[in-house]
Amino acid sequence: MNSLFHGTLAENLRLAAPDADDDLLAETARLCGVDRIAPMDSLVGERGATLSGGRRARIALARALLAEPGILVLDETTAHLDNAGDAQLATALPRGNRTTIVIAHRPATIRRADRIAVLESGRITEEGTWDGLIARPEGALNRVLAVTPP
């Protein structure tokens, strides 16, 4: 997760895109739910000490989206988000022209992926779509879901 620094919420977001105009900043904040955390001119404590893990995750995601990377890797970004935050993430990610790699354990998160790679002991054991993988009764995805229901 990205570090937060003492300064305003807007200043922390603009670290990724210093030239971002106020409209882009506001739209990205809205997409990621950052606009519900605090006003953009609110001070964020050093390392975001006053914020929950979910709030810090939303800010980190907004900052990453503002940077407009060609490839975005999200490692357990939804771990600190509630179901509403996870759904909001699903709305924010498809925007833009980029490849997004999402590493997640939450079935609702991986279900939305175009392609899924199932890892077991550090190796890809299966890959495909959610529907294709779930249709394999003895498949690795079903073994994982037996432990973590969708």
Residue given tokens 């800010």 in the structure block? 59
pLDDT value at 143 more than 80: no
Nearest Cα to Cα of residue 57 among 41, 73, 44, 74: 74
| Cα end-to-end distance, the chain, whole Å | 25
Alpha helices in 67-129 (DSSP H): 83-92, 107-110
**Residue 125, both tokens:** 């054991």
Average of per-residue pLDDT across 125-136? 88
Q: Which residues are within 8 A (CB) of 84 and not within 5 positions of it... i.e. 6 or more apart?
A: 33
pLDDT value at 150 more than 80: no
What percent of the chain has a predicted confidence (pLDDT) above 90? 8
Residue given tokens 């779509």 in the structure block? 129
Higher per-residue confidence, 43 vs 140: 43
pLDDT for the residue 38: 81
Burial of 70 (C-beta count, 10 Å sphere; 0-12/13-18/19+): exposed
Residue 104 banded pLDDT, cuts 50, 70, 90: confident
**Residue 140, both tokens:** 């690795």
pLDDT value at 69 more than 80: yes
Average of per-residue pLDDT across 2-8? 80
pLDDT value at 72 more than 70: yes
Q: What is the pTM of this model?
A: 0.73
pLDDT for the residue 13: 92
Domains of the chain from N-terminus onward? 7-113 (3.40.50.300)
pLDDT for the residue 84: 73
* Total number of residues shown for the chain: 150
Question: Residues 22, 14: contact at Cβ < 8 Å?
Answer: no
Q: pLDDT digits over 44-59, tens only? A: 877 776 777 778 888 8
